[in-house]
Structure formats: C-alpha cells, structure tokens
Amino acid sequence: MASVAVEVTRFVDANFPGWVEFVLHDALGIKWTFVDKVPVLSAVALSEASDYPRPAMIECEVVPDPSASPDLVKIDTSRPWGIEAEDGTSTFVVHRSQLDRK
C-alpha cells in the first residue's frame, strides 16, 4: 500500500472522533479539499488548539497507468479507507515524489 502527502489545514468538528479538513495538490496544480476523521490522518489527537497547517499522509492505491510519464503516478484514495474529495473525486495524478510506499 502507498501513502500520499497531504496538508491538514484546519479542525472542522469536535464530534467523535474529531474531523479535519485537508488538501491534496495534484500534478496539475489543482487543490483538492477533503474532510475526514482525525484518526485517518494522524495518530496524534488533533483539536482546535493544534497548529495548522500540518503535513500528513493518507493511504491510497497506485493505479496502473501505462500512459503516465515516469514522474507521475495515478492514485485512488478510495482504497483502502473510502477517502474522497468533497466533490466525490477519488482518483488523482500526483508526482511520484508525493508518495511513500510501504
């Protein structure tokens, strides 16, 4: 499984387990906004008092794309945890340097 770099921008909701907004910048420079549970992004208990923005990683699946350049990777954030941008998008093309592979 791979992980892609994102940036946690703010705390959104204190309802259990806590919700944060985070962004992913794709290879085209598009900023994608997400809102999800704190444990999806951090082992640290984030709150309104935490420092933002802060770096984080979300797990994703690399999608084979034979037409992609060697520096670009297509990913699907809906796997394994069902993470989607606010508009429902879950596949993105990112720079290989944004990934961490386990």
Q: What tens digit of pLDDT does each residue of 3-25 get?
A: 999 999 999 999 999 999 999 99
Q: Model confidence at 99, in pLDDT bands (50, 70, 90)?
A: very high
> DSSP label at 45?
-
pTM above 0.85, yes or no: yes
Q: Model confidence at 39, in pLDDT bands (50, 70, 90)?
A: very high
Name the percent of the chain in helix, strand, coil, to the closest 5.
Answer: 5, 50, 45
End-to-end Cα spacing for the chain = 6
Structural contact between residues 74 and 26, judged by C-beta atoms closer than 8 angstroms? no
Residues 39 and 41: their CA atoms lie apart, in Å, by 5
pLDDT at 1 over 90: no
In tens, the pLDDT along 45-70 reads 999 999 999 999 999 999 998 887 88
List all residues 6 or more positions away from 79 whose beta carbon is below 8 Å from its beta carbon.
60, 61
Residues shown for the chain: 102
Structural contact between residues 72 and 27, judged by C-beta atoms closer than 8 angstroms? yes
Structural contact between residues 34 and 22, judged by C-beta atoms closer than 8 angstroms? yes
Q: Model confidence at 31, in pLDDT bands (50, 70, 90)?
A: very high
Residue-range domain boundaries for the chain: 2-101
pLDDT at 102 over 80: no
pLDDT at position 5 is 97
Q: Model confidence at 35, in pLDDT bands (50, 70, 90)?
A: very high
